Amino acid sequence: MGFVRKYIRCPHCGFTNYATSIYCVRCNLKIKLDYSSIKKSFAFLITAFVFYIPANIYPILQSNKFFESYTNTIISGIFELWSDGDYPIAIIVFLASVLIPILKFIILFYLNISIKSCKYLKIKRRLYKFIEISGPWSLLDVFVVFILSALIHFQYVSVIPKSAALYFLLMVIFTILSAMSFDERLIGVNCE
């Protein structure tokens, strides 16, 4: 601590400016660091996590077959797929709707709480890259769950999304907002 970063890359054009610059010398756009972004990112992350709880508790799908109808939560759906022998699909749904979202929560939580720490800067920048790259694909999680469930239950007359689908969608959106509002230039900003 106590060291001040001398240079900073312009997020718009990549030009190397003095860290104290507010506007880029080359493109004239604003490059000032936004410290409030961490608070925003953290608030969005907590919101995403809160939505993830009902997304798992409430049923995500209702399957109707003539006079029979039953509902599945994300977890019970995965167990059902597995016990039916649909292993690859059970694994894909598990990855898209359980493992990857939880991994993102952990990474974003870690990046947020360790923003002032000068340890593991390279790892932290790589973790953020992973979040940044996977961000737009997150919405696919929702579609993967739906499409696969629909395909699996083709023998049923209809498959209706239930409340947990909405919570899951909100969780995905708030995770993206959290990643977007995180200013990665703050990683190691006072360390060099």
Q: Look at the block and give the residue holding tokens 């720490």.
A: 117
Nearer to Zn ion, 27 or 113 (CB): 27
Stretch that binds Zn ion, among 5-13, 47-55, 131-139, 144-152 (CB under 5 A): 5-13
Q: How far is the CB of 5 from Zn ion (least distance, A)?
A: 17
CA atoms within a 13 Å half-sphere pointing along the CA-CB vector of 149: 32
Map residues 12-31 to x or -, x wherever contact with Zn ion holds by CB under 5 A. Answer: xx-x--------x-xx----
Min dist CB 19 to Zn ion, Å, is 14
Q: Which long-range contacts (CB under 8 A, 24 or more apart) does 22-31 make?
A: none
187 binds Zn ion (CB under 5 A): no
90, β-bridge pairs = none
**What span, in angstroms and rounded, lies between the C-alpha atoms of 35 and 106?**
21
Q: By the criterion CB under 5 A, which residues form the site for Zn ion?
A: 10, 12-13, 15, 24, 26-27
